[in-house]
């Protein structure tokens, strides 16, 4: 076993020496040929062998470079797209804000123009909240005593009466809508001039009460404020009669009334001085 290992080592040493001598001889031969200006067959062999490999490697390198360039371009495009998307979102937000401000200004101008020419003190207010009990409880306005708002100021829209202010702080106030059961408004039937009291039902409608048994009231009749009680100025639109029936507690009639103002959609109101305050 030891002899076999020794023989293998000797053969490896001899092979290494032979290869070294061959390499030195080839190198000397190549150098002599280059000095004589001759081209060696070894050059042709190496070039012929290396040309396809070189072409393959060069093509692969170019594809890698193109792919890397595409990746870089794609990254730049993604960054640019993200930047442009953010800019578009910002511009859309600005347009939306400008549109909202413009429509709000248009509504306020239309609201003021609906009551222009009277002696009443006009002050616009925006609804910024509602009572915990729902829309029928109360509205919170963004105008208080610091802005001249007073208790019993009457709130209206272009369509008609919304309610009256019943509590005021420095910068806000609370508005009781005519649909609340605690509300009561003296009204007059426009067609027949008969009077009654409009009470809230707690929903989105009201009820006209205290009509006589022979009262001439019918569906479609318009109701206006009667100017009674010293709060609501006379002649403001209040609502329209939907149906007429008998009052179960008296011998008179009652009527279901739909408010003229769309209370569930109100955003701005105009505050008018109470009737007693402008006399």
pLDDT by 10s per residue, the chain, length 279:
545 556 666 666 666 666 666 666 666 666 666 666 555 555 555 555 656 656 776 677 677 777 777 777 878 877 878 887 777 777 777 766 666 666 666 666 666 666 665 545 678 899 999 886 554 579 999 999 999 999 999 999 999 999 999 999 999 999 999 999 999 999 999 999 999 999 998 888 999 999 888 889 999 999 999 988 888 999 999 999 999 998 877 788 999 999 999 998 899 999 998 865 544
Measure the CA–CA gap between 102 and 126, rounded to whole angstroms: 15
Break the chain into its structural domains and give their ranges.
Answer: 42-114, 123-277
DSSP letter, residue 205: -
The residue assigned the tokens 């200004």 is 105
The domain defined by 123-277 carries CATH number 2.40.10.350:
yes
Backbone angles phi, psi at 275, to 5 degrees: -55, -40
User: With the C-alpha atoms ordered 119, 121, 126, 128, is the resulting torsion angle positive or negative?
Assistant: negative
| Distance from the first to the final alpha carbon of the chain | 133
Q: Which of 238, 94, 251 is nearest to 164 (CA)?
A: 238
For 111-141, the pLDDT digits (tens) are: 666 666 554 567 889 999 988 655 457 999 9
Q: What is the pLDDT of residues 153-174, one digit of tens each?
A: 999 999 999 999 999 999 999 9
- The whole-angstrom separation of Cα 28 and Cα 50 is 22
Residue-wise DSSP of 220-232: T-EEEE---SSSS
Q: CA neighbours within 13 Å on the CB side: how many for 53?
A: 5
How does pLDDT run across 247-267, given as a tens digit for each residue? 877 788 999 999 999 998 899
What is the pLDDT at residue 68?
74
Tell me the C-alpha distance between 267 and 126, whole Å: 6
């Amino acid at each position: 076993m030891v002899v076999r290992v020794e023989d293998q080592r000797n053969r490896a040493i001899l092979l290494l020496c032979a290869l070294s001598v061959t390499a030195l001889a080839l190198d000397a031969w190549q150098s002599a040929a280059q000095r004589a200006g001759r081209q060696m067959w070894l050059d042709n062999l190496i070039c012929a062998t290396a040309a396809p490999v070189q072409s393959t490697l060069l093509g692969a390198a170019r594809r890698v470079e193109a792919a890397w360039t595409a990746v870089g371009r794609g990254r730049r495009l993604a960054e640019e797209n993200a930047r442009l998307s953010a800019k578009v979102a910002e511009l859309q937000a600005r347009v939306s804000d400008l549109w909202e401000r413009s429509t709000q200004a248009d509504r306020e101008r239309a609201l003021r123009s609906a009551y222009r020419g009277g002696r009443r003190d006009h002050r616009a207010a925006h609804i910024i909240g509602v009572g915990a009990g729902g829309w029928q409880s109360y509205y919170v306005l963004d105008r208080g005593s610091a802005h001249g708002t007073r208790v019993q100021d009457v709130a209206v829209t272009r369509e008609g009466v919304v309610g009256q202010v019943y509590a005021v702080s420095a910068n806000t106030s609370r508005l009781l809508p005519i649909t609340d059961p605690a509300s009561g408004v003296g009204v007059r039937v426009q067609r027949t001039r008969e009077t009654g009291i409009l009470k809230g039902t707690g929903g989105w409608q009201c009820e006209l009460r205290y009509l006589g048994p022979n009262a001439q009231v019918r569906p479609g009749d318009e109701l206006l404020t009667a100017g009674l009680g010293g709060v609501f100025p006379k002649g403001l639109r209040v609502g329209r009669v939907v149906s007429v029936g008998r009052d179960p507690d008296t011998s008179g009639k009652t009527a279901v009334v739909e408010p003229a103002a769309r209370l569930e959609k109100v955003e701005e109101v105009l505050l008018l001085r109470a009737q007693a305050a402008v006399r």
